[in-house]
Copies of this chain bind each other. A is one copy, B any other.
């Protein structure tokens, strides 16, 4: 079973709004075992919309449109679908009453054009909009199904969940299950991961593995299609095992788990506490560590020591070492980590100092140079890294390396 999604709206083509509907619908359709091979976006133009729907119908079993169901003359979806199918538009009395009630309830004057939304193509099923005024449509045409949904995500979402998913399930449920499972790594470049799991990336359907690189993270997504949930799980577990053998040590989590959540889990399990002294990351690492609910169980405090005075006065960094080595140096990172560990009385102290740019770089200390120190009862670790990217990207990557260092250290500490 194949579906495609046609998004309608000149604003999408002007780039003034982001197309989140296509992503949402695609996720849900994949969950139902319905394949999506195309997303199309067209403007509020009847002839281009007509052409797009015709083409989609020629390739797919289900065509879902989003947008263009409003009350204004710009809203062309219902008319275009009716024209294409050779159907008349008929004023629907239930919809008209719905619309009147909508405005009455909100003590608003109904706009003069509002009745436009109550014209439904002959033979189509209309779907009540629980949030706004535009009804959705389901129409069977030439053995195919056209589904028209409103454009605003807060109207489309509930309508799709409540009415369209049950409809698709009854009508198209495939005996196939599509499952995906994501393995998340950090510490390796995409090309390195690619090299390590090369053979696995060449797998052919029904079970395939894709590689997805983000900043400071490379994910592997296993996708499988099987006759039932159990076979799907079995196929995924078999591949996961192979990947884990290849990427041992670099995997921090699975599916929706974030690196900070993985670190939090280990800290709580090992009953360790941490504190952070940040300079160039400006609080970003602390913010990530505290994005996890319940972080007060392991996170005690941070000092964002931007000025040299705060490094010296609060964290006890040696002023002469700052003079000698510079504020961005291995020594200062270690002293920051030691200082915050002492100040907060914690098991692990982290110190970060660097140049986030775009200004402030020199030949010897270029933008992107960051020192990350971790001090525990057992050892002192320091990493010197040269990141690339914007200021925010450098902050992110530095926090990523710090979290990874933390993740690797926690497991090795004595309980």
Contacts and interface: CB of A to CB of B under 8 A. Distances in A.
Interface string A207-222: 0001111110000010
A210 B10 CA distance: 9
A110 interface: yes
Interface stretch (A79-87, A138-146, A296-304, A403-411): A296-304
Interface extent on A, as a size class? 35 or more
A304 B45 CA distance: 48
A174 interface: no
Contacts of A287: 281-284, 286-287, 395
B314 A307 contact: no
B41 A13 contact: no
A37 interface: yes
Contact of A74 (B154, B201, B393): B201
A286 B282 contact: yes
Interface of A: 7, 10-20, 22-28, 30, 36-45, 48, 52, 70-74, 103, 105-106, 108-114, 131, 133, 152, 154, 178, 180, 189-192, 194-195, 198, 201-202, 210-215, 221, 223, 276, 278, 281-287, 289-291, 293-296, 299-307, 309-310, 314, 343-344, 356-359, 386, 388-393, 395
Contact of A194 (B11, B111, B215): B111
Given A110-B191, A301-B307, A39 B41 contact: yes
Contact of A17 (B212, B307, B344): B212
B74 A211 contact: yes
Given A19-B19, A74-B201, A293-B358, 11 more contacts: A12-B39, A16-B223, A40-B40, A72-B201, A103-B191, A111-B195, A283-B284, A290-B306, A290-B356, A300-B309, A303-B314
